[in-house]
Amino acid sequence: MPSEQILAASAKHPKPDTTFQYGTAGFRMKANLLDSVVFRVGLLASLRSRKLNGQTIGVMITASHNPPEDNGIKLVDPMGEMLEQSWESHATWLANSPDDKTVVERYHTIASELKINLENKANVIYARDTRASGSSLVASLVDALQSSGAVYTDYKLLTTPQLHYLVRCINTKGTQYEYGEVSEKGYYEKLADAFKRAIKGKTVSGAVTVDCANGVGGPKLREFLKYLPTAADGGIDIKVVNDDVLKPEALNMNCGADYVKTGQRAPPSSKASPGDRCCSLDGDADRIVYYFVNPKDNAFQLLDGDRIATLAASFLADLSRQAGLSEKLAVGVVQTAYANGASTHYITSDLKLPVVCTATGVKHLHHAATRFDIGVYFEANGHGTVLFSPKAVKQLTYAYEPQSPAQKTALDTLRALLDLINQAVGDALSDMLLVEVILAHKGWGMTEWTRTYVDLPNRLVRVEVRDRGMFKVVDAERQMEEPKNIQSQLNELVQKYKDGRSFARPSGTEDAMRVYAEAATRAEADQLATRVADLVK
Ligand code: 16G
Ligand code: ZN
């Protein structure tokens, strides 16, 4: 009987005295607290697959840019998207069951409330990043999958986006939406082939140095290089740095996308010369930021998610115009309130494209991007991708007949990008190749890319508060509804600053408030941030 098996297996994974919550990116915390959570998420993965008639569900064990001693777990839905939001509360409920008996009871309650046929097959695949705690957490997961009778496959070490890719490939196999071959090799081959088609006839100037945060992106990028043509073969030269995965304590330490974005500086280990094109991935390779040292003034210049979004949007809108498709396909950009005001202004005023603002967290942006035919979404921190609607896919792949050789060329590039860009989730390796392709097409270096607009000085501060639960934010986190009096005071403050803008929101991953402020000068942005922080303290 599965119930007895689940009960017995659960007893091996006792819950510590902690309250868990499935947050913006699943459960994430110190790895030594996660054993019971992983077991219970495994049970939920079985339920989710059964609910969806045996479609394959993904489980990723990673804590992304967090320190090495942390870990985390998140579920991937059949098309490679994040777990449907309504299921997050089931995950939280199951994870907080006080004892094993309650685990089994709640497992059955979820099944009966959601009308899940427990006789259905359950299929689950999983992978992990390079953290030392990963393999023991995988053992807890396997206990859950076995005791709940799921069929499962261990994909060992993968980047988060690679797992999302595999889930999508499995569930689309044999349909008209077949996404790719179900293997890690299939991922490299698909992207490498798309890259070759996208870069055809163009030259990537100089090498790009990729900081892999000493995470799983390192070995995966090295493997990927075997499939990518080098510059001598009309491709790209990629220098891999910070790819030491044998020293677990090196993960995300003084390197990686989060280090670079938060500190606005290159990793101290960087040997790049002024002008060199560099980028950094995070620990599970779903985030990327670019940067370089400007040879003119030796100043560090960051090109974050906003820059990648604007670059991609301008290129895709140009291509769709050149292909003769601009009437048919609506191009738009999705950002969060953290997007630099200058980038939003550039998209609306210069590119003349619509911008939608959503709450923080990939799932919100992803969802909003599906409303465009070509929806570009990026968080400023470098999480993002471009989504093509079913209508766009149809036009690009067979319905549309180009009317001239120029239209055909643009259409071919769009088709290549459709394959190059990970449609399941933001993917640092795919995003990097996208940026490289666009720079090559535009004939741009980092200086030209930087010149598109000037970032407004900004400041982000973390504020410790007694209870962040008392803050209620609305309008894509830009307005504070509760406590009642704060927003009007915030508005008054903001009015005093030229180009001032500010908001405060409770963090979804830490017990703190975050305050963002921007203004015409550095000093004013700092001052505004401090004043707003005082308001919420
Ligand atoms: C999570 C989100 C990330 C977001 C961050 C905000 C995903 C996969 N990850 O890491 O996109 O930027 O949370 O953190 O959605 P915060 O709520 O603590 O500011
Ligand atoms: Zn990540």
CATH of the domain at 61: 3.40.120.10
Domain count, the chain: 4
Backbone φ and ψ of 273, nearest 5°? -95, 160
Q: Which tokens sit at 390?
A: 């079913």
User: Are 82 and 130 part of one and the same domain?
Assistant: yes
Asked whether residue 291 falls in the same domain as residue 243, the answer is: yes
Of 10, 36, 49, 64, which one is the catalytic site residue? Answer: 64
User: Both 389 and 423 in a single domain?
Assistant: yes
Backbone angles phi, psi at 212, to 5 degrees: -95, 15
328 plus 446 within the same structural domain: yes
Q: Which domain holds residue 287?
A: 187-302
Angle subtended at Cα 86 by Cα 82 and Cα 89, rounded to the nearest 5 degrees:
100
Smallest CA separation from ligand 1 atom 9, residue: 25
Measured from the CB, is residue 514 less than 6 Å from ligand 1?
yes
Residues in the annotated binding site for substrate: 379-381, 505-509, 514
173 assigned to some structural domain:
no
Q: How far from the centroid of its chain's Cα atoms is residue 109's Cα?
A: 32
Question: Do 66 and 195 fall within a single domain?
Answer: no
175: in domain: no
Q: Would 516 be classed as within a structural domain?
A: yes
**What's the 383 CA to ligand 1 centre distance in angstroms?**
9
Burial of 151: CB neighbours in 10 Å, binned 0-12, 13-18, 19+? middle
Residues 6+ apart with CB under 8 A from 185: none
ipTM score of complex: 0.97
Question: Does residue 287 share a domain with residue 200?
Answer: yes
**Rounded Cα gap, residues 497 and 519, in angstroms:** 6
- Tell me what pLDDT residue 1 has: 61
Dist. CA 359 → ligand 1 center (Å):
10
In a domain, 165, yes or no: no
Instruction: Report if residue 179 sits inside a domain.
Output: no
Residue whose Cα lies nearest atom 11 of ligand 1: it is: 361
CA of 74 to the centre of ligand 1 (A): 13
- Domain assignment present for residue 166? The answer is no
Ligand 1 touching residue 28 (CB < 6 A): no
Please indicate, yes or no, if residue 101 is contained in any of the structural domains.
yes
Residue that terminates a domain, selected from 302, 325, 354: 302
Task: Give the pLDDT score at 508.
Answer: 87
Boundary (domain end) residue, out of 419, 450, 481? 450
337 and 244 assigned to the same domain: no
pLDDT at 2: 80
Asked if residue 528 and residue 403 are part of one domain, the reply reads no
Domain with residue 475: its CATH number is: 3.30.310.50
* Whether residue 64 lies in the annotated active site: yes
Whether 361 lines ligand 1, by a CB cut-off of 6 Å, is: yes
Q: Per-residue pLDDT for the chain (537 aa), expressed as one digit of tens each? A: 689 999 999 999 999 999 999 988 899 999 999 999 999 999 999 999 999 999 999 999 999 999 999 999 999 999 999 999 999 999 999 999 999 999 999 999 999 999 999 999 999 999 999 999 999 999 999 999 999 999 999 999 999 999 999 999 999 999 988 999 999 999 999 999 999 999 999 999 999 999 999 999 999 999 999 999 999 999 999 999 999 999 999 999 999 999 999 999 999 999 999 999 999 999 999 999 999 999 999 999 999 999 999 999 999 999 999 999 999 999 999 999 999 999 999 999 999 999 999 999 999 999 999 999 999 999 999 999 999 999 999 999 999 999 999 999 999 999 999 999 999 999 999 999 999 999 999 999 999 999 999 999 999 999 999 999 999 999 999 999 999 999 999 999 999 999 999 999 999 888 899 999 999 999 999 999 999 999 999
Q: Where are the alpha helices (DSSP H) in 29-159?
A: 35-51, 88-95, 100-113, 134-147
Does a cis peptide bond (omega within 30 degrees of 0) precede residue 267?
A: no
State which of 21, 289, 360 you would mutate to test the pocket of ligand 1, scoring each by most atoms of that ligand within 8 A of its C-beta: 360
**Residue 466 and residue 424 share a domain:** no
Which of 302, 332, 358 represents a domain boundary (last residue)?
302
Residues 325, 424 share a domain:
yes
Q: Are residues 436 and 471 in the same domain?
A: no
If asked whether residues 324 and 430 sit together in one domain, one would say yes
Q: What is the pTM of this model?
A: 0.97
| pLDDT of res. 346 | 98
Kindly report the number of other CB atoms within 10 A of residue 443's CB atom. 10
Coil vs helix vs strand at 132: coil
Is the minimum distance from the CB of 460 to ligand 1 under 6 angstroms?
no
The sign of the CA dihedral 117, 118, 121, 124 is positive
Residue 242 lies in a domain: yes
Q: What Cα–Cα distance (Å) separates residue 498 from each residue in 341, 342, 349, 486, 529?
A: 12, 13, 19, 21, 14
What tokens does 280 get? 């950094």
Ligand 1 atom with least separation from CA of 363: 15
